[in-house]
Amino acid sequence: MLYGLFRAKRRMQIEINNLTTNEIDEGFIRKIAEKVLKEEKKEGLLSIAFIGSGRMRKINKKYRKKNRVTDVLAFPEKRLPFEKFFQELQKIQGLGEVVICLREVKKNVKRFKSSFEKELARVLIHGILHLLGYTHEKSEKAAKKMKEKEEYYLKKMSNNKFLISNKNSNAKCQMPNAKI
């Protein structure tokens, strides 16, 4: 009976919470997240939150002891100690949350001379990879592996036309004049 309940659940769920006044193209965000999770063969609930600079600074200070704004933070879901006994529970258990600061993404656009869509995709991919266990803080080898994965997915998105390079695009998540 319990097993049947778990099988009825969707295996991949993406929850998007926009806590800013800026419009976000949820379809764009969802496509990127689904592509990465599918290729990495991961299932479960992924939460993505868009927040302002003030909140990001507070969260970064509280959890990383860094009193500054950052573009993306990732918070993996804690694993239940008995998950090895319930494989289906593991599949519906959350992957965690990716928190993105849109103002920092916009700053990255200028800094890296990139498009807003590409930078948004980059930080989202970066955050998802952290949830999946990739890191750039433990060793150069791990950092290189994570960077290669990021570039792989960005290239894949560009090839599939997910990323819009045209500056005159009408994409909702492009915010050239938005106050963030």
Structural domain for 66, as ranges: 11-159
Q: What is the pLDDT of residues 53-88, one digit of tens each?
A: 999 999 999 999 999 999 999 999 876 555 555 555
Look at residue 3 and tell me if it is in a domain: no
- Count up the domains in the chain and report the number: 1
Q: Is residue 167 part of a domain?
A: no
Mean pLDDT in residue range 27-42: 94
- The whole-angstrom separation of Cα 136 and Cα 124 is 15
Could you tell me if residue 178 is inside a domain? Answer: no
CATH code, domain carrying 17: 3.40.390.30
* Structural domain contains residue 85: yes
Average confidence (pLDDT) over 101-115:
94
On whether residue 52 sits in a domain, the answer given is yes
Higher pLDDT, 171 or 94: 94
Task: Tell me what percent of the residues of the chain surpass a pLDDT of 70.
Answer: 74
11 contacts: CB under 8 Å, gap ≥ 6: 43, 44, 91, 92
- Kindly state whether residue 60 falls inside one of the protein's structural domains: yes
Asked if residue 48 belongs to a domain, the reply is: yes
pLDDT at 79: 60
Query: Is residue 2 domain-resident?
Result: no
Residue of 175 and 50 predicted with greater confidence: 50
Strands 12-18 and 72-76: unpaired
Across the range 32-54, mean pLDDT stands at 94
